[in-house]
Chains A and B, each alone.
Chain A
């Protein structure tokens, strides 16, 4: 017999729906708040069980609270994911058709770059492409506004003029990404998740890619960084800041 939803579950679910995605730390605080509000004992080891109880009830509506790891910093997030639509159309409630076509072009740019980031200048210039290819008009100022809203809704990340897909975006758009970019999307050879942002194996014949933070963890205690797949030397980039693209420092592979 499944556990019934209580107001604590509903408050938790509503909050995740409102925010789109929350950091694991925020989710723990939310869980505590929901329990306290409705006089339930706070048992942090039971957060997973609590989430499963909710998932049991939202499953019939093709929804699921899923955990994902941010490509930015390896931090865990929770997001409410719509499992039904393998298309980008479930953003359709918030964005116009032209804005969605623009977003698809932004995704092209992000996926095409090996690093998983696109510069805002290149992103804004997509408005010209949108006009040439589809005869859709979008001013640069409007494009800026769409990007701002997509960052606010946690679909995209923006950091120092570089735009990437957020953890929510990756979780929700996974089926779309896998279908539309079959040959371009790579999985991290360490954690097996989609890796947009990451390092590539330098051997031409090897397709291995890994997240910056996965690489940090993996190479931390290894004297001779080498590709886990083809064993070629790996030029490991140590990440200093939270973001895997701007503040990198190269440590040459040991001889």
Chain B
């Protein structure tokens, strides 16, 4: 298997060299996580492993273990053909407050949660015109800097998109071009459809999720099996 090949490759490096690479990979993950960018396997090879690319599986396993034990985060692989990873918090606090990711506090996270909710309630995709129309009612304008949030348009279409919380894409063949928002892969890893529906229900003062028939079906489907994310 790959791992035994990798173990053999690892033997060509000294224990200390492996250890140093592992620590560098851990640092790299943490730096990229602060930027909220995914770590590409290709970048780990290019910047850290260099000609020792074969040791990747061994180094990744050891780095995962350290990230889990010291920092309380797991390394999650994103879907897609290139190997990409992000960190997800594992420390389970009762109030659900997450100290690493941003889905917890602050005005920006608040906006993000609202946008994720609107996307989910609309059937997992929302036209940007409809999103802006809805946000306007919350005092947030597409082309006007917000007092607290600043340039909201660039926040949604650039920052949150780069951080993989949102996907912002042109509707294929649309003319004039129109755009739509979806959840990005980080949103799928850091939260769940159930949590978002609970948030929406709470906003409407309701405890029951079942009243949102189609969304609740979606929640159940997403919990039904692995990879039922979309």
Determine the chain B residues whose CB is within 8 A of the CB of A108 once the complex forms: none
4 A-B pairs besides A11-B72, A61-B30, A93-B37 with CB distance below 8 A are A15-B99, A17-B34, A93-B32, A93-B34
- Contact A5-B91, Cβ < 8 Å, known A93-B34, A94-B35: no
Counting from the closest, the 3 A-B pairs by CB-CB distance are A10-B72, A14-B99, A93-B35
- Contact A13-B150, Cβ < 8 Å, known A7-B91, A61-B23, A62-B27: no
Determine the chain B residues whose CB is within 8 A of the CB of A58 once the complex forms: 70
What sequence of 0s and 1s flags, for each residue 64-91 of chain B, a beta carbon within 8 Å of any chain A beta carbon? Answer: 0000011111000000000000000111
The distance from the CB of A20 to the nearest CB of chain B, in whole angstroms, is 9
Distance, CA A95 to CA B151, complexed state (A): 17
Instruction: Identify which of residues 175-215 in chain B touch chain A, using a CB-to-CB cut-off of 8 Å.
Output: none
Determine the chain B residues whose CB is within 8 A of the CB of A62 once the complex forms: 23, 27
Determine the chain A residues whose CB is within 8 A of the CB of B172 once the complex forms: none
The distance from the CB of A55 to the nearest CB of chain B, in whole angstroms, is 11
Instruction: Determine whether B118 belongs to the interface, using a CB cutoff of 8 Å to chain A.
Output: no
Instruction: Determine whether B224 belongs to the interface, using a CB cutoff of 8 Å to chain A.
Output: no
Instruction: Identify which of residues 24-46 in chain B touch chain A, using a CB-to-CB cut-off of 8 Å.
Output: 26-27, 30-32, 34-35, 37
Determine the chain B residues whose CB is within 8 A of the CB of A84 once the complex forms: 27
Q: Can you give 20 A-B contacts (C-beta < 8 A)?
A: A5-B69, A7-B91, A10-B91, A11-B72, A11-B91, A13-B70, A13-B71, A14-B71, A14-B72, A14-B73, A14-B89, A14-B91, A14-B99, A14-B100, A17-B30, A17-B71, A17-B100, A61-B23, A90-B31, A94-B35
Determine the chain B residues whose CB is within 8 A of the CB of A94 once the complex forms: 34-35
What does DSSP make chain A's interface, helix, strand, loop or mixed?
helix
Give B contacts to A, CB under 8 Å. 23, 26-27, 30-32, 34-35, 37, 69-73, 89-94, 99-100, 150-151
Closest B residue to A20 by beta carbon equals B34
Instruction: Determine whether A60 belongs to the interface, using a CB cutoff of 8 Å to chain B.
Output: yes
What sequence of 0s and 1s flags, for each residue 77-112 of chain A, a beta carbon within 8 Å of any chain B beta carbon? Answer: 000000010000010011000000000000000000
> Are the CB atoms of A7 and B72 closer together than 8 Å?
yes
Instruction: Determine whether A140 belongs to the interface, using a CB cutoff of 8 Å to chain B.
Output: no
Instruction: Determine whether A145 belongs to the interface, using a CB cutoff of 8 Å to chain B.
Output: yes
The distance from the CB of A40 to the nearest CB of chain B, in whole angstroms, is 14
Determine the chain B residues whose CB is within 8 A of the CB of A160 once the complex forms: none
A11's partner among B26, B37, B93 (CB-CB below 8 A) is B93
Distance, CA A60 to CA B62, complexed state (A): 14
Distance, CA A61 to CA B20, complexed state (A): 9
